[in-house]
Amino acid sequence: MTDKVQRSEEEWARCLSPDRFRICRQKGTEPPFTGEYVNNKADGAYECAGCEQVLFDSAHKYDSNSGWPSFWKLATADAIDEIVDRSHGTQRTEVTCSDCGCHLGHVFKDGPQPTGLRYCINSLSLSFRPRSSKR
């Protein structure tokens, strides 16, 4: 298990762009079909923009036609935390990075098999590392 990333909101504001801060720390949402990774089909790993924890593998990404990058499986079972979200007059399940708490998006139970899940994630919450890249 890795150590949790702990920063004040002021520290987050200094290390994230204003748009990333709004999404990752203030639970914002980017407009549909505008994110950098919506149509990305490259082979690699999607990491948390806040702490670089690997969250998703490109092998589990699919086109959900929702306007946001969508995945049917996590890279590891403990990559995210789930939080009940009752905003906007509905109940959804918010997903956050388990290492740093950055808001990623939501998970829905309308995805493809074998999981039936759709992790609907903001591109600004992610960074992409091609499989051929070394850290």
Residue 50 lies in a domain: yes
Alpha carbons within 13 A on the beta-carbon side of 109:
3
106 domain residue, yes or no: yes
pTM over 0.85: yes
- AA identity, residue 5: V
Range of the domain at 28: 9-130
- Residue 1: inside a domain: no
Residue 98 lies in a domain: yes
What pLDDT score does 129 carry?
Answer: 96
pLDDT in tens, 42-57: 999 999 999 999 999 9
Which of 24, 48, 100, 120 is an active site residue?
Answer: 120
Length of the chain: 135
Q: Could you tell me if 93 and 4 are in contact, meaning their C-beta atoms sit under 8 angstroms apart?
A: no
Determine whether 120 is an active site residue.
yes
What is the pLDDT, as a whole number, of residue 133? 66
| Structure tokens that stand for 98 in this block | 């388990």
Strand order in the sheet with 92-97: 61-62, 70-71, 118-121, 103-108, 92-97, 80-85
State the CATH number of the domain containing residue 36: 2.170.150.20
pLDDT given for residue 2 in this prediction: 53
Within the chain, which residues score under 50 in pLDDT? 1
Query: What local confidence, expressed as pLDDT, does residue 1 receive?
Result: 44
What is the reported pLDDT for 134? 63
**In-domain check, residue 3:** no
Q: Is residue 32 part of a domain?
A: yes
Task: Locate 85 and state its tokens.
Answer: 């979200």
The count of domains in the chain is 1
Is the peptide bond prior to 114 cis by the omega test (within 30 degrees of 0)? yes
Q: What is the pLDDT of residues 17-32, one digit of tens each?
A: 999 999 999 999 999 9
Note the pLDDT of residue 61: 98
- Structure tokens of 122? 């903001």
- Please check whether residue 30 lies inside any domain of the structure: yes
66 belongs to a structural domain: yes
122: burial class by Cβ within 10 Å (0-12, 13-18, 19+)? Answer: buried
